[in-house]
Amino acid sequence: MEWVGSPKINQLWWDSSLWGRELKLNTCERSHLYCARVKISLTAVYSGTVRTYQDNMQFMLLFSRQGKLRLQKWYVALSDTQKKKISREVIQMVLARKPKMCSFLEWRDLKIVYKRYASLYFCCAVEDQENELITLEIIHRYVELLDKYFGSVCELDIIFNFEKAYYILDEFILGGEAQETSKKIVLKAIEQADMLQEEAEAPRSVLEEIGLT
């Protein structure tokens, strides 16, 4: 796990300037190492190393009813392959749930808390011991923030303004923990940032916009 997550070890292994000559791995060694790495990362996921981070929230996924990922936020260090695998698994599981079922699912060592808003599923993975109901309300508060900012938010808003969705999330949750739970304060911070943006940006011609100049 650490090997994947932290480049530090790679560095010790592969480029310590003390040791002079830049190391050149031949392809065979490279693929060998690659295999070793993939194997490690997978065993890490399966042996529940995810748990050792003890983050409140491990990740948050927004996806459509068709299973398309609209937003992903990871509060633990994982490789892209792992992230893809986990997302696929979680999305599949949540989409298979029927309405009226409870919003909590046990998955590996974690708990998945999810809620559907119109066409979008909001889904958080939290520690097994975590408070499920308050996580459910974290999701709701985030939806409220999006709603207030975009004005009756819909899936399209999040697709076209994904960067805004990220900014709002960062203001609200940091490192997997709620940073600021007051709706007013979060929105004020975002709006201030937007102001800074508008000041900075001079109006542009349409032609320039579509890259014809």
Partner 1 sequence: MPAVSKGDGMRGLAVFISDIRNCKSKEAEIKRINKELANIRSKFKGDKALDGYSKKKYVCKLLFIFLLGHDIDFGHMEAVNLLSSNKYTEKQIGYLFISVLVNSNSDLIRLINNAIKNDLSSRNPTYMNLALHCIANVGSREMAEAFASEVPRILVAGDTMDSVKQSAALCLLRLNRTCPDLVPMGEWTSRVVHLLNDQHLGVVTAATSLISTLAQKNPDDFKTSVSLAVARLSRIVTSASTDLQDYTYYFVAAPWLSVKLLRLLQCYPPPEDGAIRGRLTECLETILNKAQEPPKSKKVQHSNAKNAVLFEAISLIIHHDSEPTLLVRACNQLGQFLQHRETNLRYLALESMCTLASSEFSHEAVKTHIETVINSLKTERDVSVRQRAVDLLYAMCDRSNAKQIVTEMLSYLETADYSIREEIVLKVAILAEKYAVDYTWYVDTILNLIRIAGDYVSEEVWYRVIQIVINRDDVQGYAAKTVFEALQAPACHENLVKVGGYILGEFGNLIAGDPRSSPLVQFHLLHSKFHLCSVPTRALLLSAYVKFINLFPEVKGTIQEVLRSDSQLRNADVELQQRAVEYLRLSCIATTDILATVLEEMPPFPERESSILAKLKKKKGSGTVSDIEDSRKERNVNANANVNGSSDHTITNTSAKPPPSFACDLLATAPPPTNRPRPIPSSSMLHTPLTPLSPKAYTPQPVTPTVPFYQVTSSPSSDLLGLGNSSAVNSASPPTSSHAASLLVDVFSESLPVAALGSASAHVIEENFSRFVCKNNGVLFESQLLQIGLKSEFRQNLGRMYIFYGNKTSTQFLNFSSSVVCPEPLSSQLNIHMKAADPVLDGGAQLQQILNIECISDFVEAPVLNIQFRYGGSTQNISVRLPVTLNKFFQPTEMTSQDFFQRWKQLSAPQQEVQKIFKAKHSMDTEITKAKIIGFGTALLDGVDPNPSNFVGAGVIHTKTIQVGCLLRLEPNTQAQMYRLTLRTSRESVTQRLSNLLSDQF
Contacts of partner 1 in 36-95 (CB under 8 A): 36-37, 40, 48, 53-56, 69, 71-72, 75, 77, 80, 84
Shortest Å distance, C-beta 201 to partner 1: 6
Interface map 142-181 toward partner 1 (x if CB under 8 A): -------xxx----xx-xxxxxx-xx--x---xxxxxxxx
Q: Is 196 in the site for partner 1 (CB under 8 A)?
A: yes
Can you say whether residue 79 is alpha, beta or left, with left for phi > 0 and alpha for psi between -120 and 50 degrees? beta
Question: Of 8, 67, 89, 92, which lies in the binding site for partner 1, with binding defined by CB under 8 A?
Answer: 8
**Distance separating alpha carbons of residues 116 and 95, to the nearest angstrom:** 10
Distances (CA, A) of 14 to 3, 28, 146, 203: 12, 16, 45, 49
Least separation in angstroms between residue 160's CB and partner 1 is: 6
| Amino acid found at 4 | V
Q: Which of 18, 22, 66, 96 binds partner 1 (CB under 8 A)?
A: 18
H or E element, residue 90? helix 80-95
Q: What SS3 state is found at 17?
A: helix
Please report where in the chains the tokens 């559907």 appear, as a residue. Answer: 116
Residue pair 150/117 in contact (Cβ under 8 Å)? The answer is no
| The binder of partner 1 chosen from 11, 31, 92, 119 (CB under 8 A) | 11
Q: Minimal distance in Å, beta carbon 33 to partner 1?
A: 7
Contact 127, 54 (CB under 8 A): yes
> In 3D, which of 120, 113, 49, 35 has the Cα closest to residue 78?
49
CB of 65 to partner 1, least distance (A): 16
Query: How many residues make contact with partner 1 (CB under 8 A)?
Result: 94
d(CA 191, CA 119): 27
Figure out which of the listed residues 38, 64, 85, 103 binds partner 1, where binding follows CB under 8 A.
103
Looking at the Cβ atoms of 95 and 132, the one nearer to partner 1 is: 132
Q: Measured from the CB of residue 156, what is the shortest distance to partner 1 in angstroms? A: 7
Binding test (CB under 8 A) with partner 1, winner from 67, 106, 121, 122: 106
